[in-house]
């Protein structure tokens, strides 16, 4: 793996949602390596223990908290636990998400609502609760608030069978821009990362199928991205280096949307 620039996160407290697997697990590990104390949040807390153990064994600081991003009370409780352990969360990675593939003609309304509750409502609740606490802790003077939202190239690229997922990701991109504008004088930066297709728990089985292999073959570089290709952008947006960047949406897709 190529060397990446070093962004010092010493003294920062980061909360990562959806940290029980995939990108969330990777993000939590990378932020801890950068020096941040990390709060790994997910509904499946049993799956967080191994990552927390690995971070602490490497000399980092991390805890696991239960958090259902679609539930306001659960979100508030997770932030309470984070503050009790490390103090105010100043670096928020709203990463939790889910997918429901298939024709819109056959998609149950309940399933559509579930995707929206996690991918859109969940980001709203996560970002809002974090922003409220940052502002109360003096972010306007400190200029230390960082919110990073995981969106997707499907926010602007049309792929069949992803009506609910794509709509939710397009929604968080626009919502993130509005939140950035709302909080621009509060010392809080809000930015979005739009990854291309990366093999994770959500889509891993698909890319093992013949149809999934054909999809990879249609990408300009005929390959799928590795999770570590998002590391540098995450660290940049979480650090003081990105002080002048807010309301931006970054596509990192290895050219998949070209």
Active-site hit among 79, 165, 197, 236: 165
Q: What does the longest C-alpha to C-alpha distance in the chain come to?
A: 54
CA angle 68, 190, 69 (to 5 degrees): 5
Which residues face 39 on adjacent strands? Answer: 15, 63
In the annotation, is 197 catalytic?
no
Distance CA 192, CA 149 (A): 5
The residues that are catalytic are 165
């Amino acid at each position: 793996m190529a060397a990446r620039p070093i962004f010092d996160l010493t003294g920062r407290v980061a909360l990562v949602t959806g940290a029980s697997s995939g990108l969330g697990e990777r993000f939590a590990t990378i932020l801890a390596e950068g020096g941040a104390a990390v709060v790994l949040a997910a509904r499946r807390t049993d799956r967080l223990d191994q990552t927390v153990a690995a971070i602490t064994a490497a000399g980092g600081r991390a805890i696991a908290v239960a958090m259902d991003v679609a539930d306001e009370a659960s979100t508030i409780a997770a932030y309470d636990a984070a503050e009790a352990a490390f103090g105010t969360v100043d670096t928020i990675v709203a990463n939790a998400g889910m997918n429901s593939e298939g024709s819109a003609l056959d998609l149950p309304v309940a399933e559509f609502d579930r995707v929206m509750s996690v991918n859109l409502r969940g980001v709203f609740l996560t970002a809002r609760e974090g922003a409220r606490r940052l502002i109360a802790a003096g972010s306007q003077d400190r200029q230390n608030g960082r919110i990073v939202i995981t969106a997707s190239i499907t926010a602007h690229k049309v792929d069949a069978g992803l009506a609910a997922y794509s709509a939710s990701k397009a929604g968080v991109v626009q919502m993130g821009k509005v939140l950035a504008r709302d909080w621009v004088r509060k010392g809080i930066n809000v930015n979005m990362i739009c990854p291309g297709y990366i093999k994770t728990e959500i889509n891993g089985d698909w890319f093992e199928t013949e149809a999934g292999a054909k999809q990879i073959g249609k990408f300009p570089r005929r390959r799928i991205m590795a999770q570590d290709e998002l590391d540098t952008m995450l660290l940049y947006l979480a650090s003081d280096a990105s002080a002048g960047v807010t309301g931006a949406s970054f596509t990192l897709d290895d050219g998949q949307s070209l």
